Structure formats: C-alpha cells, structure tokens
C-alpha cells in the first residue's frame, strides 16, 4: 500500500492510499478519514459507496462528512467505484464500465477479468484496512449514494451481522426493473435474471430484510427518480415490516447538495447504532 496524501482534517487525518488489488487485477485507490480518537485505539468504521461516474474523491471532497464523523469519533472509508487503467474494459456510456462497477462480480466478457467490485469491497479492502489502520472490525456501518446506495443496501442484507446499520441517499432500489440495472446486469452478469436477484435491494428486502436499523433519503425533485424506483423499496419494506425510516425530501435533487444536506443525519444515525 502506498500513501498518496494525508491531510489534517477536523482534528483527524484524511488520507488517500493506493494498492495492488488481486480482486480487480489493477491498482485501486481509496480515501480513509481517521478521527482524532484513532490515535488512542481502534474506532468504528462507516463505509461510503459512491455512485455512477464517481471516484474515491467525490464524496470525500463534496459530502462534508468528516466534520460530523470527527464529532462522533467514527472513521470513514471511500472506495473507488470500479477498476481503472490500461487494459481495463470500458464503454462510451457513462453508466457502464469504468466508474460504473455496480458492486458486482462480473462474469461476462469483456468485464470479468477486472470487474470484481463485490469481492473488492466486501473482502479484499476490509482485510487490508483492518490490518493497516486502527479500526474496530466489530463496529461497522455502511451507506452510499445512488449506485452506491444500491451497493450499500445489497451488501448489508447479504452479509448479516457485519453491519450495525445501513443507510442510503437516493439508491437504485429495483435495478432488475430499471434501465439503471437491466443494462448493466445484462452486460456484467448475463441474461439469466436469476443471477441479478442477489443484487436487487427490493428483492433482497422481500426475501431477507436487514437485521438492524435502515434509513433512506430520497429527493422528490430527483431528476433520475423514475430510474431509481424508490416506491418499490418502500413497498418491500412495508410488506416485510422492516424497521427503518424512508424519507421523501421535498425539492431535493440527485446532487451532492442533497447528500451534504442530510449527511449529518446519516452519521448521527450510524453513530447511534454503532455506539448505542
């Protein structure tokens, strides 16, 4: 692992690091904010998964999360959204290929050699950071925005017991029934829709639910709301009687202005679940 940068931030340190990934076969970059308390021992960790076109940097710079994480004594990790580099498959469309990994393990050509973002986020990167940094492995939570909200929800429901809480900003809720999902799942996972189900938050909510608190924020003026299908997830949560909160925020769109408006709420929500 190589240190790209480390900057003092709200009493803690915002770092950027790169490492060779076996999961993706490429170098991968991530951001990690450690609050001041990490100088004295391991601290809880909140994962933030970003959306389409993003790198590790978008939320790290735009969400304003470090201030609230510092107050709560929580570390933040910002993984990249896909493998990148020479020889990595890509597409002219912004919603497929580099910057659009969808947090799945691709099985189809030309994506399969590098696009193993599920393994990277759930296995390889956790193993790396818990060995290298003062983080408490038993105290984890997860959140994300858009494609990252999809990733946060599907990962949390698929790994019971790992995360104390899950939240999402404008997640892609029902990708099996949306152009933001059917296109990418066909490309990455093939035409057999049974392979898509483990990566659909609405289907997972109906089948499994989540063994902890859930918080969803969705803007009513989101320009992509018809692709996100929040009503499908809200219905599944109701049908399952899932404990949680689903908030429709009047007038907010899909941007980081929306995320930064409610990130304080989400960090407080996770801090309560992590530390009681």
Q: Residue range 139-144: average pLDDT? A: 98
What is the SS3 assignment for 94-106?
Answer: CCCECCECCCCEC
Nearest residue to 23 (alpha-carbon basis) of 145, 133, 125, 166: 125
Report pLDDT digits (tens) over 159-185. Answer: 999 999 999 999 999 999 999 999 999
- CA atoms of 43 and 40, how far apart (whole Å): 9
CA-based radius of gyration for the chain: 17
Confirm whether pTM is higher than 0.85.
yes
Band of residue 262 on the pLDDT scale cut at 50, 70, 90: very high
Domain boundaries, the chain: 2-275
Report pLDDT digits (tens) over 21-44. Answer: 999 999 999 999 999 999 999 999
Q: Residue range 231-246: average pLDDT? A: 97
Q: Residue range 206-221: average pLDDT? A: 98
Q: Is 101 left (phi over 0), alpha (psi -120 to 50) or beta?
A: alpha
- CA atoms of 10 and 27, how far apart (whole Å): 29
* Catalytic center residues: 146, 222, 254
**Residue pair 246/216 in contact by the 8 Å Cβ criterion:** yes
- Structure-token pair, residue 71: 């107050």
For residue 276, pLDDT over 90 is answered with no
Q: Residue range 144-169: average pLDDT? A: 98
Q: What phi and psi values does residue 83 have, to the nearest 5 degrees? A: -70, 155
Which CATH superfamily hosts domain 2-275? Alpha/Beta hydrolase fold, catalytic domain (3.40.50.1820)
List beta partners, residue 216: 168, 246
């Amino acid at each position: 692992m190589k240190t790209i940068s480390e900057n003092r931030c709200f009493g803690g340190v915002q770092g950027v690091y790169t490492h060779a990934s076996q999961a993706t076969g490429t170098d991968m970059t991530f951001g990690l904010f450690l609050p001041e308390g990490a100088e004295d021992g391991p601290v809880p960790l909140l994962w933030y998964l970003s959306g389409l076109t993003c790198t590790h940097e978008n939320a790290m710079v735009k969400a304003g999360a470090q201030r609230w994480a510092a107050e709560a004594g929580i570390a933040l990790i910002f993984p990249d959204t896909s493998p990148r580099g020479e020889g990595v498959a890509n597409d002219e469309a912004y919603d497929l290929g580099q910057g659009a990994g969808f947090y799945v393990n691709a099985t189809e050509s030309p994506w399969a050699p590098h696009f193993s973002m599920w393994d990277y986020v759930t296995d390889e990167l956790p193993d790396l950071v818990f060995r290298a940094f003062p983080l408490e492995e038993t105290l984890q939570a997860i959140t994300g925005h858009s494609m990252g909200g999809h990733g946060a929800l599907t990962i949390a429901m698929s790994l019971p017991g790992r995360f104390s809480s899950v939240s999402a900003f404008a997640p892609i809720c029902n990708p099996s029934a949306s152009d933001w999902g059917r296109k990418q799942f066909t490309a990455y996972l093939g035409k057999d829709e049974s392979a898509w189900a483990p990566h659909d938050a609405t289907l997972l909510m109906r089948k499994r639910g989540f063994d902890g608190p859930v918080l969803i924020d969705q803007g009513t003026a989101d320009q992509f709301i018809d692709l996100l299908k929040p009503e499908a997830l809200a219905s599944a949560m109701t049908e399952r009687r899932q404990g949680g909160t689903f908030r429709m925020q009047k007038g907010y769109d899909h941007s980081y202005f929306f995320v930064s408006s409610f990130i304080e709420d989400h960090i407080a929500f996770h801090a309560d679940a992590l530390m009681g």
